[in-house]
Amino acid sequence: MNAKPETLAAPLDVERIRADFPLLSRTVHGKPLIYFDNANTGQKPLAVIEAVDRHYREHNANVSRAVHLLGEEATAAYEGARDAIARFINAPSRDEVIMTSGTTQSINLVAYSYLMPRLKAGDTILTTVMEHHANIVPWQLVAERTGATVKAAPIDENGELIVEAFVEMLTPDVKLACVTHVSNALGTVNPIREIARECRKRGIPLLVDGSQAAPHRAIDVQALGCDFYAITGHKMLAPTGTGALWAKREHLMAMPPFFGGGEMIREVRFEGTVFADPPHRFEAGTPNIAGFAGVSAAIGYLEGIGFERIKAYEQELLAYATDAMDAIPGLRIFGRAKEKEPVISFLIEGAHANDMATLLDLQGVAVRSGHHCAHPLMQFFGVPATLRASLAFYNTKAEVDAFVEAIARVRKLLL
């Protein structure tokens, strides 16, 4: 997964990298685009765009349903993506990787197939205050059906999980713990290995939402020690509608199917159906084949750069942007975790987040405004919404400078 050692020593050639991303060269409202909404979705390099295009031009057919050449090629591309994902997250086996539409589907699969059959009244699902709604709402739905309860571990004013409180809440009634690896709203990196170690001591399975981690850091599910890990393709340069769930094999073997349909069976009779082994047991219907061809290309692109280089550059960019924004009068940054990825949530005193985002867009700057699918987190900080600038390795310090200047102009208009 990592780039070669001689590659790691070289700094990123960001201008060359930017040339790989066609959308970064466009203008919006007559201004050069500054795309700072990468936590929402990442832009796509030519390698990914061409992989999807090539699939439809040369290999389009359904998977696992034909012996003709196109069918074999489509199946090879789809299963090749499984191999790429398994390598990307260092899964012990490719058969532990379930292809999904993204983290939301992955978490719902665990909620309904793994957890709900095991839940009863009085049981608890433990999550945290900083979670995305996709790591809250599915647990609430299965809890309502079974009489279980969802509880959230607290965070501090820096946006860091209070690990001691989380561990104290790992009581015998907890049947699953669910934690984000990286907060989508704050960029906070949670200590997954420590959390997983405490969960294992108590025999409590741990699910990790890795949607925001995968674009920024090397993932090793074996080293992390969790039971389930979910990723989303479109956050990490791949097409929308792609993602994966990794789960320990013993869990997959004990899980009944969540979706029913074609290609997840061995034999169907009206007297009863025999299901396929994992992972195909959980992959009913025609998948996003072209999208997963793009996933392979996206993983290859990230691996070609190397996460050591990506991380070093993004941390430099985060520090530069944070310092520049701290110098803006009336600007408040939410989330000052000691370890965080390049995500900065902020507000300007006296200005509404949506108004700011609208006016920044007119300056060519794309940032997210709103609750970021994290209502409980906004409630913790006592605000209805924030602006979020989320950076990637193809962003530049010059863009940060232009962004800060745009904030200053917008601030004068609103205040």
Which domains are assigned to the chain?
A: 5-45+306-414 (3.90.1150.10), 49-303 (3.40.640.10)
Q: Tell me whether residue 199 is one of the annotated catalytic residues.
A: no
> Hunting for tokens 């205050």 — which residue is that?
129
* Long-range contacts of residues 398-403, Cβ cutoff 8 Å, at least 24 apart: 399/34, 399/36, 400/317, 400/320, 400/321, 400/324, 401/324, 402/32, 402/34, 402/364, 402/365, 403/34, 403/36, 403/321, 403/360, 403/365
**Nearest-angstrom CA–CA distance, 367 and 176:** 34
pLDDT at 268: 86
**Nearest-angstrom CA–CA distance, 377 and 287:** 34
pLDDT at 276: 87
Q: At 368, which helix (H) or strand (E)?
A: strand 368-370
- Residues 309-345 as b/e (b if ≥16 CB within 10 A, e otherwise) read bbbebbeebbeebbebbeeeeebebbbebeebbbbbb
DSSP string, 305-329: H-HHHHHHHHHHHHHHHHHHHHTST
Q: What does the longest C-alpha to C-alpha distance in the chain come to? A: 72
Strands in 22-158 per DSSP E: 27-28, 31-32, 34-35, 97-100, 124-128, 149-153
pLDDT at 262: 81
φ, ψ at 96 (rounded to 5°): -95, 5
Using CA atoms, how far residue 247 sits from 12, 55, 228, in Å, is 34, 29, 4
| Cα 117 off chain centre by | 26
Peptide bond into 215 cis (omega under 30): no
Using CA atoms, how far residue 343 sits from 186, 204, 358, in Å, is 6, 30, 19
pTM, two decimals, is 0.95
pLDDT at 195: 98
Using CA atoms, how far residue 98 sits from 223, 231, 282, in Å, is 20, 11, 7
**Residue 370 and residue 402 in contact, taking contact as beta carbons nearer than 8 Å:** no
pLDDT at 258: 86
5-31, pLDDT tens digit by residue? 434 457 899 999 999 999 999 999 999
SS3 369: strand
Contacts with 121 (C-beta within 8 Å, 6 or more apart), sequence order? 146, 147, 148
Contacts with 161 (C-beta within 8 Å, 6 or more apart), sequence order? 128, 130, 153, 154, 155, 179, 188, 190, 191
SS3 179: strand
pLDDT at 8: 45
Query: Of 202, 146, 212, which Cα lies nearest the Cα of 179?
Result: 212
| Annotated active-site residue in 178, 199, 226, 373 | 373
pLDDT at 265: 82
**Residue 291 and residue 81 in contact, taking contact as beta carbons nearer than 8 Å:** no
Q: At 298, which helix (H) or strand (E)?
A: helix 289-305
The parts of the chain modelled with pLDDT lower than 50 are: 1-8
pLDDT at 6: 39
Contacts with 340 (C-beta within 8 Å, 6 or more apart), sequence order? 159, 182, 183, 186, 187, 188, 189, 318
